Amino acid sequence: MQHITPEEAHAAEDSILLDVREPTELEQARIDGALHIPLGELVARLDEVPRDRPVHVICHVGGRSAQAAQFLEGQGVEVANIEGGIVAWYRAGLPVVLGDET
């Protein structure tokens, strides 16, 4: 499975950011434009994952996104796990919507 840093994922121009966290986690922090499919729903919603461009998967710190990336890779999706999750994304100073910000 491929891994990518938050900075590399943010700089990628033709990719999809897939957030596999739970809806309650999104209420705390989210990334605008990310596709949200909770890990527990990924198998049932697989057809929503684009296959025409790379998919970069993110969760809180990287564990669930690694599971999702491994599954997607087995389905033939070009995928990479974002190292450190949204925690590393935030610490890198990349754009995050916190709480109820719009």
pLDDT, tens digit, 9 for 90 and up, residues 38-91: 999 999 999 999 999 999 999 999 999 999 999 999 999 999 999 999 999 999
8: left (phi over 0), alpha (psi -120 to 50) or beta: alpha
102: pLDDT strictly greater than 80? no
Distance, in Å, from the CA atom of 38 to the CA atom of 64, rounded to the nearest integer, reads 9
What's the domain range around 23?
A: 2-98
Predicted confidence at residue 99, as pLDDT, reads: 84
CATH number at residue 94: 3.40.250.10
Those residues whose C-beta lies under 8 Å from the C-beta of residue 22, and which sit 6 or more positions away, are 38
- Structural domains of the chain, count: 1
pTM metric for this prediction: 0.94
**Catalytic-labelled residue, pool 59, 69, 77, 82:** 59
User: Active-site residue 96, yes or no?
Assistant: no
Q: Are 4 and 81 in contact (CB under 8 A)?
A: yes
First to last CA, the chain: 34
